[in-house]
Structure 1
Amino acid sequence: MRVHLIRLVAAAVAAAVLVLPRPAWAGPPGGEPSPASVDAYLREALESTGVPGLSAVLTHGDRVVHATGLGRDSSGRPVTADTPMRVASVSKSFTAAAVMSLVDDGLVALDEPVVGYLPEFRMADRRAARITVRQLLNQTSGLSDTTVDIGATQRAGDLAGYVAALRPGALAAAPGTRWEYCNVNYDVAARLVEVVAARGFGDAMRERVFGPLAMSGSAVGDRVVRPSDGFFSVYGAWVRRAELPGFRDGGSGGVVTTAADMGRWLIAQTGHGPGVVTPAGLATMHAPSAVSDYGMGWGEEAVGGRTLLVHSGNLFTYTAVEAIDPGTGYGYAVMFNSASLRDDTYDVLLGLVALSEGRTPAAPGGGRQTIEAVLGLCALAAAGLGVLGVLRSPQWARRRAGRPRWRAALRLVPVLLPAAVLATYPQWVSFLMNGRTVTWAQLTYFAAPLTITIGVAGLAGLATAVSRLARLRSVGSGG
């Protein structure tokens, strides 16, 4: 009887699945997704992630399947496929292409020391003289946020000043022995392009990369192509804010581009259509180094049983991700005009990958909202406990009157722990990010919900401790 019942239920479920409408973004099984299915999926992604605006592009072979923009920018204008977006570290693949174009022209050799092309590149650590061009692009140079003055480089007015700011620094490892992600590699590479090409980095990029690919909406920095202000999220509310000041004209994260232009770039990177480097140069860019799966502005990543080349980018009010599938010729890019503790660009990209493989993607999003809701509740709880601690400090002091002071002080340690976390906040965040330099100013952007929550908890604990000590002193003096 149970077997028959199970079979009956299974048949009913199967029949229901057959008659249920497929999601609008599902597309034909096993076939190339239609522009309509891509658009429908991205509209669902915009709604489920809750971001203010996004743009995205899907390419296949030498064609753009669909490029679009959804939502609004900070000025209230609709986001389109031609809306300028900051792509942050996605810029590294562009910089690598500019260097490789110089290699193709015989002006640079990948395994020659950087100092041979850039004599101004000097550091206190003599090993820096052995860093090769290949090691810069593969991020195996030994350069590290932990051993150079990142603050000094950010205050530089140009790439020459940036490289000069590195002189007191050291290497974290011998060149070629260890991979470590460090923006300095690509900003030095950008200065190398300037010197060898005998023109500013932005002009060299326009001549060697953007121009040949007809990427008319792309530039380095925001003086030529200016994006609107982006957003960051504070407990679910999107706050408009200018991007964090600092040196943004370099090769590590200075590119501003559009979804339409990214389509042209992805087609070139999959080896179809016009290119900016030779096929051999393209293969070199995409190959991992001897010590890491990171190539020249691209990292290998397993997605859905395939190996894709991927690179993400995160600023403080913009986020982006790009990927190519060398096996199928598909290319993908997703850009948000916002940043938050939970970056959903990669999840949206995974949905585009699923569509291109004939699979039905799950609607991304929800993670940011959940994280920020939990942090909001924690902040409210911390504030409530702080008020309660201050109000109950007279009773706390009376219970400990006459006892050794060291025991009362010991009781205050747990209360002061959040304040200690707050005081060392940038340091431990930097530690958790594998030594990447993190400043207080940066933590007021996309990390704002966490920063506020830790701040509330720290101040609540400090207020409780001060109130208890004051009451204890008053009780001890007979007041």
Structure 2
Amino acid sequence: MKSLMSLLAAALTFTATPATPATPATAAPELTPAAVDAYLREAMESTGVPGVSVVVTRGGEVVHAAGYGHDSAGRPVTEDTPMRVASVSKSFTAMAVMTLVERGGIELDGPVAAQLPGFTMADPRAARITVRQLLNQTSGLSDRTVDIGATERATSLADYTARLAGSRLAADPGTRWEYCNVNYDLAARLVEVASGRRFGDYLRERVFGPLGMTSSAFSDKVVPVADGYNSLFGAWLPRPELAGFHDDSGAGGAITTAADMGKWLIAQAGDGRPPVGRQSLEAMHRPTKLRPYGMGWGIEDNGQLVHSGNLFTYNAVEAVSPKTGYGFAVMTNSATLYDPTYDIMLGLTALSEGRSPQGPGNDRQLFEAVLAAIALVAAGLGVLGAVRARRWAAKRAGRPRWRVGVRLLPALIPVAVLAAYPDLVTVLVNGRTVTWAQLAYFPAPMSITLVVAALAGLGVTIARICVLCKLTRYTN
């Protein structure tokens, strides 16, 4: 992803591709562990992130798996350090669904409502949503028409499903692509109903277990994970992950390691005895006509399968190239206004294709330095405006009130922007619901800057009004 505002969607970025062949489709240069390690150490230094774990695979082999930096407990990050991977979870959820499709437990093109007791919505069109449409993100479900706040208070997938009863669709099923986490939490609940087991238990037994992913789970009660970090004007602050992806969330609840992701990427290439057959893999990697997005995977212009994941203290990206047979997973234990995981993945992709990688920069410090400067200027102007309030009021004491009111309005613009802040960001991220609590996490430097500007503008306005009132009483 990697613009400042697109990251605010928290788990929005993705891209996907047709099935990856088990052997490279074209000859690719040999990517050595030493070359990978050198690039990652350079990326670690340039981005300044606290910790990152990475795995590179090719066909059925792990080329390199390692960790760099430290976690919030001060322990070194290794290839075995658990990391939250946010929306990368969607590819795991799609795999779980497809295992049940192959066993006849789920009908891929059958209506969800007929297979999921308790799923109703205040929209008759919801009865036509198919399982395939959930996984392809073409169901018509949208953050704009679902009560996301209510779903975030759910205590289980069954409770989550019940909380959708009063919501509506934004489009007819199958007519529009729109990224919405509800699709994959419903898919996870469907897995529970079809299998008779909790979603996380089913993943462990039927997906993670067969692949040897022994350090992966959909709950931090099963695989404990350290707090991640946010950057506040250059300082790394450890923080617990924001609630919202409850245990077993099929949209973003997965915790895994670089070592386990190596096994996962190998399975996606059709090697390593994947839990499903070739046809199912192809279905998951096949884009829809509406969008280059399959089932938990998207397609980039170069044909590479990719899906990113963004939480509020962790970021991740996974990729598989049908052109070279390489696979990549990059995970960081931090979240800021700039997410470097995608750029690091692009650098590894370039190395695997014999190109010189463009190293990720330190846009985080640039963004935050600019915001800090704006906050300082706003505070300074606020103090200056308050000090000069008497001079300002003296020039306008005898003028009509409406004209004075108009001259007061510019200082209140930051106050109006702050009042509408979550709604404005929601519009900027294509309708994805954004809350005040979320804006206090990785966007905190931007939020603080806006608060400072609003307080400065409000202080200047109050000072001017107070002086005007005194002058008016004196002259009368």
Tell me the TM-score range normalised by the shorter chain. over 0.9
Q: Does 1:403 align with 2:399?
A: yes
Question: What's the CA shift for 1:30?
Answer: 5.7
Residue 263 of structure 1 aligns with which residue? 262
Work out the CA distance in 1 between the residues paired with 2:47 and 2:246. 27
341, 350, 354: which is aligned to 2:337?
A: 341
Q: Contact 2:245 / 2:252 at 8 angstroms: preserved in 1? A: no
Contact 1:72 1:78 in 2 (8 A): yes
1:369 aligns with 2:368: no
Q: Aligned partners of 1:229, 1:309: CA distance in 2, in Å? A: 29
Cα distance in 2 for residues equivalent to 1:449 and 1:409: 31
The correspondence of residues 142-161 of structure 1 with structure 2, limited to 5 A, is 142-161=140-159
Give SS of 2:230's match. strand
Q: Report the structure number with the largest CA radius of gyration.
A: 1
Shift of 1:201: 0.3
For residue 247 of structure 1, report the CA deviation from its aligned partner.
Answer: 3.6
Q: Structure 1 residue 363: deviation in Å?
A: 1.9
Structure 1 CA distance for aligned equivalents of residues 30 and 422 of structure 2? 46
**Pairing of 1:148-297 with structure 2 (within 5 A):** 148-249=146-247, 250-297=249-296
> Which contiguous aligned blocks of 4+ residues in structure 1 show a shift greater than 3 angstroms?
none
Task: Say which of 29, 36, 39 aligns to 1:38.
Answer: 36
Alpha-carbon deviations, 1:395-430, whole Å to 9, x = none?
Answer: 000000101111111011111000100011001001
| Stretch deviating more after TM superposition (270-279 or 250-259) | 270-279
- Structure 1 residue 265, shift from structure 2 partner: 0.2
| 1:155–1:247 CA contact under 8 A, matched in 2 | no
State the alpha-carbon separation in 2 of the partners of residues 121 and 310 from structure 1.
30
Residue pair 1:156, 1:247 contacting (<8 A) in 2 also: no
Q: 1:136 — aligned with what?
A: 134
Answer yes or no: is the 8 Å Cα contact 1:393–1:464 preserved in 2. Answer: yes
Q: Is the 8 A contact 1:158 1:247 kept in 2?
A: no
2: CA distance between counterparts of 1:143 and 1:31? Answer: 43
State whether residues 134 and 187 of structure 2, in contact with CA within 8 Å, keep that contact through their aligned partners in structure 1.
yes
Aligned to 2:50: 52
1:415-446 deviation line (CA, Å, top 9, x unaligned): 10001000110010011011111100000000
Distance 2:200 2:28 in 1: 42
Separation in 2, partners of 1:462, 1:382: 11
Equivalent in the alignment of 2:423: 427
- Specify the alignment match of 1:318 in structure 2: 314
Q: What is the CA-CA distance between 1:334 and the residue it aligns to?
A: 0.3
Q: Work out whether 1:466 is the aligned partner of 2:466.
A: no
User: Among residues 109, 117, 121, which one is paired with 1:123 in the alignment?
Assistant: 121
Check whether the contact 1:186–1:251 (CA below 8 A) recurs between aligned residues. yes
Residues 138-177 of structure 1: CA distance to partner in whole angstroms, max 9, x if unpaired? 0000001111111111111100000000000000000000
Q: Within 1, Cα distance between the matches of 2:382 and 2:191?
A: 56
Partner of 2:376: 380
Provide the secondary structure at the position in 2 that maps to 1:194: helix
Residue from 83, 100, 109 that aligns with 1:85: 83
Q: Distance in 2 between matches of 1:290 and 1:189?
A: 21
Tell me how far apart the structure 1 counterparts of residues 300 and 364 of structure 2 sit (CA, whole Å): 23
Q: Of residues 452, 457, 464 in structure 1, which corresponds to 2:453?
A: 457
TM-score by structure 1 length? 0.92
Say which SS state the counterpart of residue 212 (structure 1) adopts. Answer: helix
2:109 maps to 111
* Distance in 2 of aligned mates of 1:196 and 1:381: 59
- Structure 2 Cα separation of the partners of residues 470 and 227 of structure 1: 53
Amino acid paired to 1:123: M
Provide Cα deviations, 1:95-150, integer angstroms capped at 9, x if missing partner: 00000111111221211000121021100111101000000000000001111111
Other-structure match for 1:12: none
Residues 381 and 184 (structure 1 numbering): CA distance in 2 closer, same or farther, change over 3 Å?
same
Alpha-carbon deviation of 1:367? 1.2
Structure 1 residue 72 corresponds to structure 2 residue 103: no
* Paired residues of 2:36 and 2:348 also in contact (CA < 8 A): yes
- Asked whether the equivalents of residues 215 and 256 of structure 2 are also in contact (C-alpha less than 8 Å), the reply is yes
Gap change, CA 1:391 and 1:89, over 3 Å in 2: same
* Distance (whole Å) between structure 1 residues aligned to residue 43 and residue 430 of structure 2: 31
* Structure 2 gap ranges (5+): 1-26
Q: Secondary structure at the match of 1:69?
A: strand
Letter in 1 for 2:234: G
Contact in 1 for aligned 2:324/2:352 (Cα 8 Å): no
Tell me, yes or no, if the aligned pair for 2:28 and 2:324 is still in contact at 8 Å: no
Aligned equivalents of 1:34, 1:291: Cα separation in 2: 39
The 3-state SS of whatever aligns with 1:477 is: helix
Higher relative contact order (CA 8 A, sep 6+): 2
Counterpart of 1:211 in 2: which secondary structure?
helix
Q: Retained in 1: the 8 A contact 2:324–2:353?
A: no
Alignment of structure 1 residues 430-449 onto 2, 5 Å: 430-449=426-445
What is the CA–CA distance in structure 1 between the aligned matches of 2:324 and 2:359, rounded to whole Å?
A: 24
Q: 1:111 & 1:246 partners in 2: Cα distance? A: 29
Contact 1:153 1:247 in 2 (8 A): no
- Secondary structure of the corresponding residue to residue 319 of structure 2: strand
Q: State the number of aligned residues.
A: 448
Whether the aligned pair in 2 keeps the contact of 1:30 and 1:359 (CA below 8 Å) is no
Distance 1:415 1:363 in 2: 42
C-alpha contact (below 8 Å) 1:229/1:242 kept by paired residues: yes
Shift of 1:55: 0.3
C-alpha separation in 2, matches of 1:108 and 1:167 = 22
Q: Percent identity?
A: 64
1:392 and 2:372 matched: no
CA RMSD of aligned residues (A): 1.0
Q: Where does the alignment leave 5 or more consecutive residues of structure 1 unmatched?
A: 1-28
Q: Cα deviation per residue 1:324-354 (whole Å; 9 max; x = unaligned)? A: 1123211011000000011111000001101
What is the distance in 2 between the residues matched to 1:365 and 1:108? 45
8 Å CA contact 1:308–1:326 kept in 2: the answer is: yes
Residue identity matched to 1:470: C
The aligned counterpart of 1:95 is 93
